[in-house]
């Protein structure tokens, strides 16, 4: 009996001592949780599936979070939907941005009016293509009243050369444009009062071709206000009617069928 009690006391003392030894280890392990978490690389993402319904994950320096698998799958599906939606919206906005004009122009002469004003679009891999829409003013001179013209112009610049200090040049620019004059006295088809084929051309619409050169100055970003660059250009142009006249009339000189014009281009975008 004494022996059993003595053994029991020893067993009880050993159990208490074991518990006292285990408690500090548990406390130490709990206190080291932050240290263990911080040992993860900030950019790493660890995902551990504990069961069919629970997912534990860790991102960067944040604590472990337990989420239901169904909610994670649901959020994943929503993110895919939002991604497709965002792409569609981005594509739609990009298409709409294409119609925003990138520059404005003012041009003197060119068989499109004394002065023409308008806007246009640059495009192409190196912005070597331009499309312009211009409205021109033609004083009345010997006619009864002034006139308004409209021009649709397509330009092409094969290459550009950097001159340094903010200057560059396009040594060759070329293109064609359609020009029309507003007024009842001009026609596309001959009026009935003329014999059929009397004129053989339209007095309302002219087709022009031109060659020219350009000089561009890139404005310092700290000094920009309305434009990022300014381009001076000149053009030598002629129209379909003038070309026909030059071929059929040998006495005509280049000054009779060529037109010299000047202009400025203000680049916005």
Long-range CB pairs of 131-138 (<8 Å, 24+ gap) are: 131/155, 132/105, 132/177, 134/105, 134/107, 136/112, 136/179, 137/113, 138/113, 138/114, 138/181
Q: Is the pLDDT of residue 3 over 80?
A: no
Of the pLDDT bands very low, low, confident and very high (cuts 50, 70, 90), residue 15 is low
User: What do you get for the CA distance between the two ends of the chain, in Å?
Assistant: 102
Read off the DSSP letter of residue 219: P
In DSSP terms, 134 is beta-bridged to: 118, 151
Q: What is the pLDDT of residue 172?
A: 97
Name the segment(s) of the chain with CATH classification 2.40.160: 103-267
Report pLDDT digits (tens) over 98-110.
889 999 999 999 9
Q: Distance between CA atoms of 215 and 168, rounded to whole angstroms?
A: 6
Share of the chain above pLDDT 70, in %: 69
Report pLDDT digits (tens) over 44-70.
444 444 444 444 444 444 444 444 545
Region 212-240: mean pLDDT is 95
Region 108-126: mean pLDDT is 94
Give me the helices (H) in 98-227, please: none
- Taking all residues of the chain, what is their mean pLDDT, rounded to a whole number? 78
Domain 103-267 sits in CATH at: 2.40.160
């Amino acid at each position: 009996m004494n022996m059993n009690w003595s053994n029991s006391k020893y067993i009880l003392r050993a159990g208490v001592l074991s518990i006292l030894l285990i408690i500090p280890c548990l406390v130490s392990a709990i206190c080291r949780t932050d240290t263990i978490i911080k040992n993860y690389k900030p950019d790493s993402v660890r995902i551990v599936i504990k069961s069919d319904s629970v997912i534990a994950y860790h991102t960067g320096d944040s604590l472990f979070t337990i989420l239901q698998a169904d909610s994670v799958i649901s959020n994943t599906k929503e993110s895919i939907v939002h991604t497709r939606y965002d792409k569609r919206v981005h594509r739609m906005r990009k298409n709409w941005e294409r119609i925003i004009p990138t520059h404005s122009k003012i041009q003197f002469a060119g068989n499109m009016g004394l002065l023409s004003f308008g806007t246009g679009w640059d495009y192409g891999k190196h912005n070597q293509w331009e499309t312009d829409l211009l409205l021109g003013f033609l004083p009345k001179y010997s006619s009864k009243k002034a006139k308004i013209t409209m021009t649709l112009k397509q330009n092409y610049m094969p290459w550009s050369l950097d001159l340094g200090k903010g200057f560059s040049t396009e040594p060759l620019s070329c293109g064609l444009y359609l020009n029309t004059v507003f007024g009842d006295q001009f026609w596309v088809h001959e009026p009935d009062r003329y014999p059929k084929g009397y004129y053989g051309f339209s007095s309302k619409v002219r087709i022009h071709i031109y060659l020219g050169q350009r000089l561009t100055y890139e404005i310092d970003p700290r000094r920009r206000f309305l434009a990022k660059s300014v381009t001076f250009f000149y053009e030598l142009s002629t129209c379909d009617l003038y070309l026909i006249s030059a071929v059929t009339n040998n006495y005509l000189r280049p000054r009779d069928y060529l037109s010299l014009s000047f202009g400025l281009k203000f680049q916005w975008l």
